């Protein structure tokens, strides 16, 4: 049930185009995908750093989760995502260990991943995502 690696780091940005240009300079690598996740009200842009990705998140609506986050806390790191082999199993394991889940069932995230969030109340204030490729 141990995570295999950090799948991505999610970063809330106000202006995706400007943030893409910044990260292209910072990482020396082009953004390889831009994708809108309609039910999360976000537009995402991805970069690869070794096995880990940087996921830039721009809100498409002020009342979406990223819009609210930026209003409260400003731009910056939004969540950490760990890759697991068996997401439903990992969620059961976390719940049995007393973790509070935001998503009791896996749902579809960007890049065709199955994802689920743990509540930051039970993860020391860090919004934590678990994800798997199946
Ligand atoms: Zn994510």
Say whether pLDDT at 134 is over 90.
no
pLDDT of res. 112: 87
Domains in the chain: ranges and CATH: 5-132 (3.10.180.10)
CA pair distance 67, 43, nearest whole angstrom: 11
Contact criterion met (CB below 8 Å) for 59 and 75: no
Give the model's pLDDT for residue 39.
Answer: 85
Percent of residues in the chain assigned helix, strand, coil, to nearest 5: 30, 40, 30
From the CA of 126, how far away is ligand 1's center (Å)? 12
Q: Report how far ligand 1's centroid is from the alpha carbon of 62 (Å).
A: 19
Whole-number average pLDDT of the chain: 95
Q: Ligand 1 mean position to 80 CA, how many Å?
A: 7
Q: How far is the CA of 51 from the centre of ligand 1 (A)?
A: 15
Q: Residue 1's pLDDT band (boundaries 50, 70, 90)?
A: confident
Q: Where are the beta strands (DSSP E) in 67-121?
A: 76-83, 107-108, 114-118
User: Contact at 8 Å (CB) between 13 and 59?
Assistant: no
116 CA distance to ligand 1 centroid (A)?
A: 9
Categorize the per-residue pLDDT at 66 as very low, low, confident or very high, splitting at 50, 70 and 90: very high
Q: How confident is the model at residue 75 (pLDDT cuts 50, 70, 90)?
A: very high
1 contacts 90 by C-beta, under 8 angstroms: yes
Per-residue model confidence (pLDDT) at position 114: 95
């Amino acid at each position: 049930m141990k995570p295999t690696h950090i799948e991505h780091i999610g970063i809330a940005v106000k202006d995706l185009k400007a943030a893409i240009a910044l990260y292209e300079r910072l990482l020396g690598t082009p953004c390889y995908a831009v994708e809108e996740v309609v039910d999360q009200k976000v537009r995402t842009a991805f970069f690869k750093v070794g096995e880990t990705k940087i996921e830039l998140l721009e809100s498409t609506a002020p009342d979406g989760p990223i819009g609210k986050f930026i209003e409260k806390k400003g731009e910056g790191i939004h969540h950490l995502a760990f890759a697991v082999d068996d997401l439903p199993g990992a969620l059961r394991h976390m719940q049995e260990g007393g973790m509070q889940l935001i998503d009791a069932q896996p749902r579809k995230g960007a890049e065709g991943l199955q994802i689920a969030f743990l509540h930051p109340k039970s993860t020391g204030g860090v919004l934590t995502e678990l994800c798997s490729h199946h």
